[in-house]
């Protein structure tokens, strides 16, 4: 299947670590021109070198805090100017620290809201401006979470923000379909890096046993219909497909890539 992504201009936020890294490398294999928008620019530069070796036509790293509207606007303008427009955006940045709701504080809620929701709004707004003006259509994929669909203990505010992501993507899919712009969400379940060096300094997985003990990882895997945890490339395959012409009639969808953890319908 020709995904027709060669030479396309793609932005991946948080594209240096775990799932975002695999998405960057997935687009690289298709010969895309990639902008990695990241807080950890040192790790992003390493991933950029890997992407070039795998076949990316060009890669630029732009140090960006997606929660800062001015930085996002500058990053999006730079992507459009270097690569002649923007064909696809992947809103991949996300963050959580697993705590029961009654152990959290309003400052913690604000951090979760900013990183998981406002960052996605900032990037989507600026990219839509370019896509609508250019008139060539495009794709926006936001990385959500199965916590948005299931109600996960210790992920109350995070799950609520990711449910907001799902709803937002459906609305902008309806608003922008007439411009040929497709908007979808992808929900990972627990998705762990293959190697320690696949994660950035800010990664939720830089200390993976702070998230779950090894016994808990094994129990989660056993509970899933496919009996295995997710790997970053599982998510990258779905995201690259949804961003491509091969998914040209798919919009407003929320796709779980989680070994069967949630089944909606």
Ligand X SMILES: NC(=O)c1ccc[n+]([C@@H]2O[C@H](COP(=O)([O-])OP(=O)(O)OC[C@H]3O[C@@H](n4cnc5c(N)ncnc54)[C@H](O)[C@@H]3O)[C@@H](O)[C@H]2O)c1
DSSP, residue by residue, 142-169: EE--THHHH--TT-HHHHHHHHHHHHHH
Min dist CB 7 to ligand X, Å, is: 25
Alpha carbon of residue 192 to chain centroid: 15
The smaller minimum CB distance to ligand X, of residues 108 and 177, is found at 108
Instruction: Map the footprint of ligand X across residues 233-252, applying CB under 6 A.
Output: none
Q: Which of 11, 12, 28, 39 binds ligand X (CB under 6 A)?
A: 39
Q: Which of 9, 17, 124, 256 binds ligand X (CB under 6 A)?
A: 17
Cα–Cα distance, 227 to 134 (Å, whole number):
45
Contact between 20 and 12 under an 8 Å Cβ cutoff? The reply is yes
Torsions phi, psi of 60, nearest 5? -130, 145
Instruction: Pick the stretch among 26-34, 98-106, 171-179, 187-195 that binds ligand X (CB under 6 A).
Output: 187-195
Catalytic residue among 158, 243, 256, 261: 158
Min dist CB 178 to ligand X, Å, is: 28
The smaller minimum CB distance to ligand X, of residues 14 and 138, is found at 14
261 is catalytic: no
Instruction: Map the footprint of ligand X across residues 92-111, applying CB under 6 A.
Output: 92-95
> Could you tell me which residues are beta bridge partners of residue 76?
none
Catalytic residue among 142, 162, 244, 258: 162
Task: Output DSSP code: residue 209.
Answer: G
111 is catalytic: no
Angle in degrees, 0-180, between the axes of helices 106-113 and 156-176, rounded to the nearest 10: 30
Sign of CA dihedral 171, 21, 39, 105: positive
Cα R_g (the chain), whole angstroms: 17
| 224 is a contact residue toward ligand X (CB under 6 A) | no
Contact between 17 and 61 under an 8 Å Cβ cutoff? The reply is no
* # chain residues binding ligand X, by CB under 6 A: 31
| 14 is a contact residue toward ligand X (CB under 6 A) | yes
Roughly how many angstroms between the first and final C-alpha of the chain, as a whole number? 28
> What mask, x for binding ligand X by CB under 6 A, covers residues 138 to 177?
-----x-x--------------------------------
- Point out the residue whose Cβ comes nearest to ligand X: 94
Min dist CB 250 to ligand X, Å, is: 20
**Distance set, CA 220 to CA 3, 37, 133, 189, 225 (Å):** 33, 31, 45, 10, 10
Give the containing element (helix H, strand E) for 6: none
Applying CB under 6 A, which residues contact ligand X? 13-14, 16-20, 38-40, 64-67, 92-95, 115, 119, 143, 145, 188, 190-191, 199-200, 202-205
Hey, which residues are catalytic here? Answer: 144, 158, 162
């Amino acid at each position: 299947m020709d995904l027709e992504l060669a030479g396309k201009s793609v932005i991946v936020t948080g594209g240096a670590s775990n799932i975002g890294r695999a998405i960057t490398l997935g687009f690289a294999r298709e010969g895309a021109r990639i902008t990695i928008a990241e807080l950890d620019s040192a790790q992003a530069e390493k991933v950029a070198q890997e992407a070039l070796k795998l076949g990316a036509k060009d890669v630029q790293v732009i140090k960006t805090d997606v929660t800062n509207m001015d930085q996002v606007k500058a990053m999006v303008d730079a992507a459009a100017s270097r690569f002649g427009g923007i064909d696809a955006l992947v809103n991949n940045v996300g963050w959580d620290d697993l705590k029961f709701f009654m152990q959290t504080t309003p400052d913690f809620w604000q951090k979760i809201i900013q990183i998981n929701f406002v960052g996605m709004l900032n990037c989507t707004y600026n990219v839509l401006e370019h896509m609508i003006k250019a008139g060539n259509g495009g794709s926006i994929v936001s990385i959500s979470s199965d916590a948005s669909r299931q109600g996960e203990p210790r992920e109350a505010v995070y799950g609520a923000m990711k449910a907001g992501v799902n709803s937002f993507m459906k609305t902008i899919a309806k608003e922008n379909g007439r411009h040929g712009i497709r908007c979808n969400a992808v929900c990972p379940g627990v998705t762990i890096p293959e190697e320690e060096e696949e994660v950035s300094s800010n990664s939720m997985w830089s200390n993976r046993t702070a998230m779950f003990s090894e016994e808990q990882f094994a129990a989660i895997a056993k509970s899933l219909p496919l009996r295995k945890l997710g790997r970053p490339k599982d998510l990258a395959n779905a995201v690259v497909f949804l961003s491509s012409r091969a998914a040209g009639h798919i919009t407003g969808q929320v796709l779980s890539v989680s070994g069967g953890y949630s089944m909606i319908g």
